[in-house]
Structure 1
Amino acid sequence: MIPLHDACNKVLAKFLNYSVGTTPENYLRVLFETLRSFHDTSSDFYTGRIKYGKISKQHGQFWYPTLTTKAFVYDPFFTSPVLKAYYDNLPETGKGGEQRDDSAVYYMKPTSKTDPFRKLPAELLMMILMHLPARSIFQLKLASVAIVQLQLPGSFWKQKLKRDMPWLWDFPGQGTEQTRKNLDWLQIYKDIYIGSKGNGRSPFFNLVNRNRIWRISEQIAPRFVKCQEEWEIAKARKRKDYLRP
């Protein structure tokens, strides 16, 4: 048996809308077939292969969350007071200093001649970093002076926030450019990235659980799509047999 809470099901539905753009009329039936298929031990999608995150060690007949896993009992759709306070006071850039084009990318100073990345235009490096996870960017900074000296605009981090955290559907920073132009998108990215990992003194517990369920949905979605295709084929065959004289 694979338990699926209502909140988890809603996150899965949002993931399917985001990834494959599908909300079939027979959603619950396809979902049932998808979950049932995970019991097939000969399948590559066998449930034992699903990674549930840090809570895996707590799985059993009863679930006893610990201090490090208590976030996983939070409703992923509930906006906690800590997160609401953060949303109401999003960090902004400094008021003083020289203003520059928020879409421009440049090197802070001449890069090392021995760094192979220095041969690449700053705009190309920005495109590469857009597709890398945050952990890889950090590791790349340890290996490249050019990456460290690369000054990325706020618009980069705003776009990367949407790309890396598609589960952040309740983020309020989508207002008009006039009211949101001073937001510090790099700091926002850092805060939410760390807070949704369960790290720091004030983690965003609902985002921690939402992020975890989203990662599980990534593993379920391919099987769901396959079951949906099989369902559509079977339905088409039944319709064809029905219309056959």
Structure 2
Amino acid sequence: MGYSENCCQLCAVSINVARLRTKNEPQSAGWGYSSGEYYSGDAMGARCTTFAERSGCENIPHETAEWIHLPGRWCVFEGGYNGWKIGAEEMKGMNLPRYIMRRPKDADFDGEGADYEEESDYFLTSQTTCPPDDFEPGELEHVRYGIDNFFPQNYAVLSSDDDMDVGVPVHDSCWKIFERICKMRLGKVDLQGFMLLWFRQACGNCGFQNMKQEPVIRECREQFWCHLPGTEYLGANPHDIPGLLLGVSDQYRSYPNGDNVFQAHQPGIGDPSVYESQTDPFSKLPAELKNIVLSYLSSQDIARLRLASRSFRQLPKQLFLRLLQDELPWFWEFDELKQLDDDWWKEWFKNDDPEKQHEEHANRIRKSREGNFTEDVNWLMVYKQLCVLKKGVLGVRNRARIWYMVEEVVRRIAELRERLSDDSGYDLRGRETFPVEPTEDEVEAGLVKNDLYCPRCQVFQIQRENPT
């Protein structure tokens, strides 16, 4: 068996993503698929090396790796992500996995992990200090329960007689998103339920069977991860995103004053908007009922409604806070955003003496020192800015992608617990310490679909024979 890479069980991206440092960066800013600067592929044979004057790429001798490829802005070498396209800080931790492992029998909870581990048969290791290499999991930063030698695996080999422990690899950042969604949807982090699902639906390429991962992941999943130009977002940390709050903070403001998102229009004499429409049924509704109507609609439906009725030309600010939470649930840094705004205004007015200013300006200075400076936030502006960042910031794009994948995983966990409760006659929805391995009856009934591939990732081209 040749070299093999494992992927994160949640996001389906290889743990061994690499980064090509630019010629202006230190050596530590670049890393290969394993320890050191070992990159897959032949950099000398890459087209960007042949056309170096166009790509800006350069190959320099290296003591152990023979050659190091320093990318230009138009590099197409697939052995690592281009350092001009994604920063080292953006990829922080994405090649240092954690593993989910079974706790030794009769071992008490060591108190070092999260509280939810105490109720489970499984635990999470610390992150590794180096990338995994082939079947070696990588050296752990901290060893728990005396386990430091195990086999990283994305799917269960139910018929294996090997006694070596198996570790399910996950990115630390992806697991934090899983924890957050579990608390939102289930009220707790269901580690036992995660392994319950893993034993029955794991896929070595998609994470779990028939997950609707982005099709480009299948193109990148080769023996070595193929770092295709344009897929840099797949290697970006989805939890800790540099510059995210700064990118949103400028739109965290109350303008215009009042409860509505748009500047009030002062109609002139003869302006048709002054007159009440006789054909618009919404024009006779009070504001409270209009807001109730809006509370049931998506942003797209609201846009259509505004085209059909003048009664909804003006919209309340709080409506977009609800839309933001419903349609962009992957943004959770509301408290941090507010704190950043308060800190900015405090810094802005720090040298001003309110006693020497006119009353209105003096009140703003005092308010900046009390906190909660920006009231009646225009959430439409925040909503629009996050939509822009989702397209342009790699970490935000990856977070949004992973959020919906993890939501599907959590939904499946709840559904599986429900089904097993009905089949077994026991209420497993609230229990943690029950056996997660599938029963023989489940296997015989075809309810266990756990393999390297699934129908979605193993695509074959079917060719019909011409009738003779």
What is aligned with 1:43?
none
Are positions 1:22 and 2:188 aligned together? yes
Task: Using the TM superposition, give the Cα deviation of residue 78 of structure 1 relative to its aligned residue in structure 2, in angstroms.
Answer: 1.8
Task: Using the TM superposition, give the Cα deviation of residue 218 of structure 1 relative to its aligned residue in structure 2, in angstroms.
Answer: 2.1
Number of aligned residue pairs: give it. Answer: 216
Amino acid at match of 1:185: W
**Corresponding residue to 2:404 among 183, 206, 215:** 215
What is aligned with 1:146?
310
Structure 1 or 2: more helix by fraction: 1
Q: Take 2:217 and 2:311, find their aligned partners in 1: how far apart are those partners?
A: 36
What is aligned with 2:373?
179
What is aligned with 1:161?
324
Relative to structure 1, is the Cα distance of residues 164 and 147 closer, same or farther in structure 2, using a 3 angstrom cutoff? farther
Once the two structures are superposed, residues 163-201 of structure 1 have per-residue CA deviations (whole angstroms, 9 ceiling, x without a partner) of: 4333212233445884121643211111112322x1xxx
Task: Using the TM superposition, give the Cα deviation of residue 216 of structure 1 relative to its aligned residue in structure 2, in angstroms.
Answer: 1.0
**Corresponding residue to 2:196 among 19, 26, 33:** 33
**Corresponding residue to 2:388 among 181, 186, 194:** 194
Are positions 1:136 and 2:301 aligned together? yes
Q: Take 2:253 and 2:327, find their aligned partners in 1: how far apart are those partners?
A: 21
Structure number with greater CO (CA < 8 Å, separation at least 6) is 1
Amino-acid identity (%): 20
* Displacement over 6 Å in runs of 4+: 234-238
Q: Take 1:148 and 1:103, find their aligned partners in 2: how far apart are those partners?
A: 11
Amino acid at match of 1:16: C
What is aligned with 1:47?
209
Are positions 1:80 and 2:245 aligned together? no
Amino acid at match of 1:60: R
- If you compute each CA radius of gyration, which structure gives the higher value, 1 or 2? 2
**Aligned Cα root-mean-square deviation (Å):** 3.8
Q: Take 1:104 and 1:20, find their aligned partners in 2: how far apart are those partners?
A: 34
Amino acid at match of 1:86: G
Q: Take 1:63 and 1:225, find their aligned partners in 2: how far apart are those partners?
A: 34
What is aligned with 2:178?
12
Task: Using the TM superposition, give the Cα deviation of residue 74 of structure 1 relative to its aligned residue in structure 2, in angstroms.
Answer: 1.0
Q: Does the aligned pair in 2 maintain the 1:112–1:145 contact within 8 Å?
A: no
Once the two structures are superposed, residues 197-240 of structure 1 have per-residue CA deviations (whole angstroms, 9 ceiling, x without a partner) of: x1xxxx232222111111112221222123445487467998xx
Q: Take 2:177 and 2:317, find their aligned partners in 1: how far apart are those partners?
A: 29
Q: Does the aligned pair in 1 maintain the 2:261–2:316 contact within 8 Å?
A: yes
Amino acid at match of 2:175: N
Equivalence map 1:93-108=2 (5 Å): 93-94=254-255, 99-100=257-258, 102=259
Q: Take 1:219 and 1:137, find their aligned partners in 2: how far apart are those partners?
A: 27
Once the two structures are superposed, residues 11-64 of structure 1 have per-residue CA deviations (whole angstroms, 9 ceiling, x without a partner) of: 12211111221224xx1x421221332259xxxxx722x222464564532343
Relative to structure 1, is the Cα distance of residues 118 and 15 closer, same or farther in structure 2, using a 3 angstrom cutoff? same
Amino acid at match of 1:52: Q
Relative to structure 1, is the Cα distance of residues 185 and 111 closer, same or farther in structure 2, using a 3 angstrom cutoff? farther
Q: TM-score, normalised by structure 2?
A: 0.39
Q: Does the aligned pair in 2 maintain the 1:157–1:185 contact within 8 Å?
A: yes
Q: Does the aligned pair in 2 maintain the 1:90–1:183 contact within 8 Å?
A: no
Q: Does the aligned pair in 2 maintain the 1:80–1:204 contact within 8 Å?
A: no
Q: Take 2:306 and 2:179, find their aligned partners in 1: how far apart are those partners?
A: 36
Q: TM-score, normalised by structure 1?
A: 0.68
Relative to structure 1, is the Cα distance of residues 113 and 167 closer, same or farther in structure 2, using a 3 angstrom cutoff? same
What is aligned with 2:69?
none
What is aligned with 1:206?
395
Q: Does the aligned pair in 2 maintain the 1:112–1:118 contact within 8 Å?
A: yes
Relative to structure 1, is the Cα distance of residues 53 and 113 closer, same or farther in structure 2, using a 3 angstrom cutoff? farther
